[in-house]
Amino acid sequence: MVPGARLIVLGKQGAGKGTQCMRLSRRYVLPHISTGDMLRAAVKARTPLGLEARRYLDAGDLIPDEVVLAMVAGRLDQDDTRTRGFLLDGFPRTVAQADGFDELLKPAVIDLVLNLVVPTGLVLARLVSRRVCEDCGAIYSTSTPPKLNWTCDFCGGDVVQREDDTEEAIKNRLDLYDSSTAPLVARYEALGKLVEVSGEGSPGDVANSLNAVIDAYQHGGGFFPPTPPEHS
């Protein structure tokens, strides 16, 4: 059904999924599907989905599975994901989402699940210093700000602290990760799809590790199309 690379990036909040997915998306020309970015865009645009989702996002709670599944199903039906595949960031996040997604994808299957592993102490430090572009979602931090006045280097949007990066909402999200999302690691490991990559190094080092995993998979005859364009 989807004749390209089908990748999932797993990892705690602050593990670096968004940062790395942006790099991977450019390098492998893969559509980056971030359910968090989609939901924040819906909240900003005040769509019916956004109006419903807002209270969950503010509290750091999970949006109901059927709502997220419908949103992802709509996105997978677009031309770019049909021809190129996808890089999923922030989804699936529960066993029910993973089950629903398997059904949605049939007869295709996931190629690889990349699990970015980072200790909790480090993700907490990253989350409190995280800043994001309100328009394109580019990720910065207080130690690596945009070049000019908290204006996004890529799109000129305002770079701000996310409303759900409060101490309380962060704690709730990390607890939900342990109870709802962590079981997915064992699920994909049992299927032989999981590769663990340390997310502790610099963004460039982590990107090199991820690229090496994907290139090795690809050279083993993993995905179609076999030779994605190189981007420097």
Stretch of 61-69, 118-126, 152-160, 203-211 lying at the interface with ligand ADP (CB under 6 A): 61-69
CA–CA distance, 66 with 1 (Å, rounded to integer): 21
Which of 21, 36, 94 shows the shortest CA–CA distance to 64? 94
The closest alpha carbon to 88, from 163, 36, 162, 165, belongs to: 36
The residue number whose beta carbon is nearest to ligand ADP equals 36
> Rule CB under 6 A: which of 146-205 touch ligand ADP?
164, 173
63 binds ligand ADP (CB under 6 A): yes
Based on the shown chain and the rule CB under 6 A, indicate whether residue 126 belongs to the binding site for ligand ADP.
no
Shortest CA distance to 23 belongs to which of 218, 225, 205, 224?
A: 205
Nearer residue to ligand ADP within complex by CB, 32 or 223: 32
Distance CA 151, CA 116 (A): 28
Candidates 58-66, 101-109, 152-160, 213-221: pick the segment binding ligand ADP (CB under 6 A): 58-66
Q: How many chain residues are in contact with ligand ADP, going by CB under 6 A?
A: 17
For strand 139-141 and strand 130-133, is the pairing parallel, antiparallel, or unpaired? Answer: antiparallel
Instruction: Decide if residue 60 touches ligand ADP (CB under 6 A).
Output: yes
**d(C-alpha 50, C-alpha 200), whole Å:** 33
With binding defined as CB under 6 A, does residue 71 bind ligand ADP? Answer: no
Contact flag: residue 20 with ligand ADP (CB under 6 A): no
**In the structure encoding, which two tokens stand for residue 143, read together?**
């130690």
Stretch that binds ligand ADP, among 35-43, 73-81, 150-158, 204-212 (CB under 6 A): 35-43
d(CA 101, CA 109): 10
Residue with Cβ nearer ligand ADP (84 or 173): 173
Q: Which residues bind ligand ADP (CB under 6 A)?
A: 13, 35-36, 39, 56-57, 60-63, 68, 90-91, 93, 97, 164, 173
